[in-house]
Amino acid sequence: MFRSKIGLILVGLFLVILSPLNLLAEPHGKLIVFHAGSLTIPFKRIARQFERLYPQVEVLQESGGSTRMARLIADVGKPADVMAAADYQVIDNILRPKFANYNIRFASNQLVLCYTPRSRYADEITKDNWYKILCRKGVVWGHSDPNLDPCGYRSLMVMQLAEKFYKKPGLYKRLLANRPIKNIRPKSVELISLLQTGNMDYAWEYLSVAVQHHLRYVKLDDHINLGNYKYDPYYRQAKVKVVGKRPGKWIIKRGKSCTYGITILKNAHNPEAAIAFVAYLLSPAGGLKILKEMGQPPFIPARVPTKKMWERLPRQLKPLVEIKN
Amino acid sequence: MKLSQGKRDNFFLTLFFFSLPLIVLILLPLGKMLTGTGVDELLHCIGEAEVRNALLRSIYTSFTASAISFVFGTPLAYLLARKEFPGKRLMEGIIDLPIMIPHPVIGIAILSLAARDTLFGEILQRLSLHIMGTLTGIITVLTFVGMPFYINTAKAGFEGVSPRLEHVARSLGAGPWHSFFRITLPLAWRNMVLGTIMCMARAISEFGAVVIVAYHPMTAPVLIYERFTAYGLKYSQPVAVWLIILSLILFVLLRMVARGKIRQEGEMDA
């Protein structure tokens, strides 16, 4: 009798000791997700849905220019589990191979010209005359800093391509001559407050940002909007000089369709939750669906460029990713 | 006697140990930043016109902001220190608001004021006063964030001057202007300088509101942010070190000037 009681207590103790191990199997704890400013709104919704599926995980989002976020990880050593960039090349250039093993391309975007009903010539602008309006005196328009924000150099590329597409030599120069340097902002999202406060008439943004902020926008021809990767050879004609690794050094960025990349960092504090989060993001009925609804056409399925990189993916992500350059 | 001496030592020792964490908190990160930057890097960095211009711009705009606060804040501070009027507490609360409002909100609020399709915005346009991307805009923002520090410090100074002294001066035939400039101002001078320093210090460090109103032309904090984002820590740090060095020199100088001024006045009184 006495012995069996001891036995029961031992079994009980054993269970009590084991139970935290059970909890460990399920992703839990804090998950730090760094992402491009342009992903803020869809990622907020994706994080909320994800937390509903995994109630023990708390997703902490931090957003900013993709380059800056990558720098925070690589230079400052800021802890992050997941990093999603508006230009997948940011992950390749700053984080690989030291901080990340792979780079999954999961969505695309395109550039549009945003405005509000208060903007000058708002009732006139169309997809065919936008560049004429941007050249008019008194029209205030801007883009983000090409050195800090991919949206910035992409805006410049769109205008270069417009010169070629509409066969208007000198258009790019004429456009920039009507854009004083003070109309440049660090991040494209910051231009929205200038639009909404009536300090600016037109701003270059991603389509997704325009949709999410309920702005009016001019959708451009596929030849120049950097949204369709079938036109990548055409886009390559655009060249923008941006700062290199140190002041005074420059690198040339060539036109390319807007492609988002995501990775889990090698030194992630919470790899279980990170894998679960990325798996949810890449699932067609989960994250990809939300992205689509918010004006950010996803790649279904997501892709990596090489078999070698595919091999390095966590086991749970492999079925969600195809090999396609 | 000996016992109480020991007790006092213990008391001050305890105070000292409790002050230590805060001092370490200031010195450790700043020390790391200062020692992490080589002399070569510092010299190279100050050789760039972009850096020099940003530093000068920061000093110029924050100095102007504190000068504006001085000119318009002094009457306000005096009024608040001397007069009781309905709504005074509310007014004091409003003056403190810029301290607590998140900085980007301040920037956006000031920008919306300048919207071109509003009446006020149109008046500004007519006067060719532009807020977005101009020094005017930067100074407006810096005055906004720095002013409470000047007003509160100057007010405390005026409150420290007994109204009886002013009454005596008045009873001897001095007018209100005269008694203010001859009695109150010399006695509250120290606080006014201190307030100017605090206002300028607050202004020179402002980033969040400035970057909304003006990214170009760049002030030093904005340049530090831009350099950090574009090139990484290595190239933003020297700019930050220069800003720290210049601020330190500036504020030590201002304090010395203030002390000299007070000593002079002390001698005059004697």
Q: Which chain A residue has its CA at the smallest distance from B133's CA?
A: A182
Task: Write down the pLDDT at residue B128.
Answer: 84
Asked if A198 lies within 8 A of B118 by C-beta distance, the reply is yes
- Listed by start position, the domains of chain A span 27-108+260-323, 111-225
Residue B215 to residue A245, Cβ atoms within 8 A: no
Contact state of B216 with A181 under an 8 Å Cβ cutoff: yes
* pLDDT at residue A25 in the model: 65
For residues A202 and A140, give the distance between their C-alpha atoms in angstroms, rounded to a whole number: 7
Q: Measured between CB atoms, does A16 come within 8 Å of chain B?
A: no
The residue whose two tokens read 């919704």 is A45
CB–CB contacts below 8 A, A to B: 78
Cβ contact, residue pair B211, A184, below 8 Å: no
pLDDT (0 to 100) of residue A16: 52
Number of domain units in chain B: 1
How far apart CA A65 and CA A42 sit, in angstroms, is 16
Q: What is the pLDDT of residue A84?
A: 97
- pLDDT of the residue at A20: 47
Query: Taking the mean position of all CA atoms in its chain, how far away is CA A70?
Result: 12
Beta-carbon separation of B115 and A199 below 8 A: yes
Q: Which residues of B touch A90 (CB under 8 A)?
A: none
pLDDT of residue B30: 86
pLDDT score of A23 more than 60: no
End-to-end CA distance of chain B: 38
**Domain with B145 in it: what CATH number?**
1.10.3720.10
Q: What is the pLDDT of residue A22?
A: 47
Task: Find the mean pLDDT for residues A56-85.
Answer: 92
pLDDT at B215: 92
Closest CA in chain B for residue A201:
B116
Q: Helix B220-231 and helix B233-269: axis angle, to 10°?
A: 160
Average pLDDT (A55-84) is 92
- Tell whether A67 is within 8 A of chain B (Cβ): yes
Residue A315 confidence class, pLDDT cut points 50, 70, 90: very high
Listed residue (B175, B187, B200) closest to B81, CA to CA = B187
From the list A154, A147, A145, the residue with the least C-alpha distance to A71 is: A147
Q: Is the ipTM of this complex over 0.90?
A: no
Question: What is the Cα–Cα distance from A13 to A197, expressed in whole angstroms?
Answer: 64
Which residues 171-190 of A are in CB contact (within 8 Å) with B? Answer: 180-186, 190
Chain A residues inside the 8 Å CB shell of B122? none
pLDDT the model gives residue A325? 76
Structure tokens at A120: 């000058």
At residue A13, the pLDDT reads 54
- Say how many C-beta atoms besides its own lie within 10 A of residue A142's C-beta: 27
In a domain, B19, yes or no: no
Q: Are the beta carbons of B231 and A74 separated by less than 8 Å?
A: no
- Which of A107-116, A244-253, A312-321, B150-159 bottoms out in mean pLDDT, i.e. has the lowest? A244-253
Using a CB–CB cutoff of 8 Å, tell me whether B57 touches chain A: no
At CA B191, angle to CA B189 and CA B196, rounded to 5? Answer: 95
pLDDT class for A70, splitting at 50, 70, 90? very high
pLDDT value of residue A210: 92
Q: Considering only residues A42 and A295, tell me which one the structure prediction assigns the higher pLDDT.
A: A42
Q: pLDDT averaged over consecutive 10-residue blocks of chain B (270 residues)?
A: 70 92 90 85 91 96 97 96 92 93 91 83 86 94 96 95 89 87 90 93 94 93 90 88 91 81 56
Tell me how close the Cα of A310 comes to any Cα of chain B, in angstroms.
30
Domains A27-108+260-323 and A111-225 share a fold: yes
Q: What is the mean pLDDT of residues A178-201?
A: 91
Q: Which of A110-119, A146-155, A266-275, B54-63 has the lowest mean pLDDT?
A: A146-155
Q: What is the structure's pLDDT at A249?
A: 84
A279 and B CB contact within 8 Å: no
B44 in A contact zone (CB under 8 Å): no
- Predicted confidence at residue A143, as pLDDT, reads 96
* Confidence class for position A14, pLDDT limits 50, 70, 90: low
Does residue B133 fall inside a structural domain? yes
Residue A8 has pLDDT above 90, yes or no: no
Tell me, what's the pLDDT at A7? 63
Q: Which CATH number fits domain A111-225: 3.40.228.10, 3.40.50.300, 3.40.190.10, 1.10.540.10?
A: 3.40.190.10
d(CA B229, CA A72) in angstroms, rounded, equals: 9
Answer yes or no: is pLDDT of A200 > 90: yes
pTM for this predicted structure: 0.76
Per-residue pLDDT at A309 exceeds 60: yes
Q: In chain A, what residues touch B232 (CB-CB under 8 Å)?
A: 71, 74-75
Strand pairing category for A250-254 and A216-219 = unpaired
pLDDT averaged over every residue in chain A: 90
- Domain membership of residue B225 as a residue range: 40-269
Q: Would you call B52 an interface residue with chain A, using a CB distance cutoff of 8 Å?
A: no
Q: Given CATH 3.40.190.10, say whether it is the number of domain A27-108+260-323.
A: yes
User: Residue B142's pLDDT is what?
Assistant: 97
Range from A184-193, A242-251, B200-209 that averages highest in pLDDT: B200-209
Give A-chain residues touching B108 at CB under 8 angstroms: 193, 197
Mean pLDDT of A294-311: 93
Q: What is the distance in angstroms between the Cα of A57 and the nearest Cα belonging to chain B?
A: 29
Are B116 and A183 an interchain contact pair (Cβ–Cβ within 8 Å)? no
